[in-house]
Amino acid sequence: LQVGSNDNRDSARIEVEFEDYGSIVEFPSSEAVSEYVKKLSSHDSGVPVPCSSFPPGCGFEQFLVSFASQNAEMITDSQIERLWEARELIARYGPNLLPLIARSVLIWNRRDELSRMRELLTRWGRIKPETALQLLDFKYADGKVREFAVACLDESLDNDRLHLYVMPLVQVLKYEPFGSCALARMLLKRALCNYRIGHILFWLLRAELGQLSEIGQELTKTYKRFALLIEAYCRGNYSHLHSMLRQVDMVARLTNLSKIIKSMKDKECATKHLQKELTSYVEIMQNMISPLDPSDSLGALKTEMCKVIGSAKQPLRLTWTNPEPLARLHSETHEIIFKNGDDLRQDMLTLQVMRIMDAFWKSRDYDLCLSIYEVLPMGRNVGMIHVVQNCNTLFEIQCAAKQLGSTFSMDCGVINKYIRNCSGDTKLYLEGVDRFTASCAGYCVATYVLGIKDRHQDNIMLAKDGRLFHIDFGHFLGHYKKKLGINRDRVPFVLTDHFLCVIAKGKANYQESHEYKKFKQLCTDAYLILHERAKLFVSLFSMLLCMGLPELQTVC
């Protein structure tokens, strides 16, 4: 029975297939387990300890605190025994300790304890979403535990919060022993009830099909499972089926067109060919819902504004009008980059984790003005990227100011002057500096926690309203980019004198300024908020090991 990857990389995994047996072999029903537990209730060894049995000065609350930060990997057998003895109290007052108990071999290898655990799950208190996500990792194979975790997620996450976790939940479908499981049913139900969730689920499943189809000629069990889930979604979402078919057709045409364009060496010739071919696709690729973001409607395709970007993969930059009535107040066009040749799953993962960070910060009333754009993989090395408008890279700002050379030769006040020139008056300038300070703090903390590397002037951008943001996350989790064997990244995150000059509003001694001290405190507060949820981030990346990303292979 295939249940997922081998978690012990130092030993082999053996799959055993037994011959057919004359009778049905199945796990006892819940009723049978409950009856068995009742028979065991008279045994002294199975009686849980009461609160009064804890030593003076070390009550049950202290007991819970002592295990709250405990790592399931480091817990000892004696500690498991203590937890198991207090299981009834933990189920009521400390339900989030379930991962420590559910991981123990001492319980699952014993029929009596297994039966008690199964029965206790029916009375276990509700757990936090981050705890439930941890229980969906491959380390927790018991079906009832996974069903309980899914039920808690379904109950506690509204559509906006569930949308943040669709990507890891799609990946942990690979750890389920059967296609028809509680997680698949929950995702399908929520997708059919909310088109935004259904949209991202549909495209992530298609992207996984593209990855799995390259493994071999024979279709894997996971491929068939994902294909059936897509079919079930399409059958239940008939009202949006025509729109989805148009999106799939668009992606297929752009994929074929990009293959032709990649064979052209001259950028101008490639752009002319792109515009010529798009002219014949106009009726198919306009006046539709955006494949990248279902909340956006694409109007007329502006073929004369579409172009080929001069880089190794030659991505396509496409422009549509914005048909919304108030578009002139926000953005009159929609711009999307279509990429063929790059695996965008790592970029999407990084941005999705940043969205989760931003949600935690906002829940504590910290708005760090992050500009998290949309990235969506749509097949094997195929996907779309949203273009953030009204912004420039730091290199473009440097060149415009005629400050040639690297960051170190750049005038420390050039970014501050750029924000002042874009603002127009003092009030707007001060608002822009506030946004710059908040966003700089957010990205300093986020890039440090995620170990994002290869930061330079071409992948750090600045919007005209003062928001700083990062793009292109090709290296993360501390994987440095090297040149001649030397690490190009020398600092844990980017915070230059040019940034500090803006934060201090152009003051000369910016490191002694009040604004700089406030900035440091903001970074500290933002980091501590994330540190409180450290287990969640570790669990997320552990769940995503099966993605096969080169820079996400092990969890320390």
- Write the pLDDT tens digit of every residue in 221-241: 889 999 999 999 999 998 899
Query: What is the per-residue pLDDT for 554?
Result: 76
Terminus-to-terminus CA distance in the chain, angstroms? 28
Q: Is the pLDDT of residue 217 over 60?
A: no
SS3 518: helix
| Residue whose entry in the numeric block shows the structure tokens 């049995």 | 53
pLDDT one-digit tens code per residue, 507-536 = 888 888 899 999 999 999 999 999 999 989
User: 386 forms bridges with which residues in the sheet?
Assistant: 336
Q: For residue 404, what pLDDT band results from cuts at 50, 70 and 90? A: very low
37 — phi, psi (to 5°)?
A: -65, -35
Burial environment of residue 248 by CB neighbours within 10 A (0 to 12, 13 to 18, 19 or more): middle
Query: What is the per-residue pLDDT for 266?
Result: 87
pLDDT one-digit tens code per residue, 126-152 = 999 999 999 999 889 899 999 999 999
Query: What is the per-residue pLDDT for 56?
Result: 46
Dihedral of alpha carbons 158, 441, 540, 475, sign: positive
pTM: 0.88
| CA dist 525 → 13, 276, 350, 368, 442 (Å) | 45, 53, 21, 11, 10
| pLDDT above 70 coverage of the chain, percent | 91
**Average pLDDT over the chain, rounded to whole?**
88
| Residue whose entry in the numeric block shows the structure tokens 């499943």 | 205
What average pLDDT does range 42-69 have in this prediction?
Answer: 60
**CA-based nearest residue to 543, from 165, 185, 286:** 165
- Antiparallel, parallel or unpaired: β 391-393 and 460-463: antiparallel
- Antiparallel, parallel or unpaired: β 375-379 and 391-393: unpaired
Q: Which domains does the chain have, with CATH numbers?
A: 25-125 (no CATH), 156-236 (1.25.40.70), 242-386 (3.30.1010.10), 391-547 (1.10.1070.11)
CA dist., res. 156 & res. 154, Å (int): 6
| CA dist 99 → 7, 103, 224, 360 (Å) | 16, 6, 30, 22
Can you spell out the DSSP letters for 344-405?
THHHHHHHHHHHHHHHHHHHTT---------EEEEETTEEEEEPPPSEEEHHHHHHHTT--S
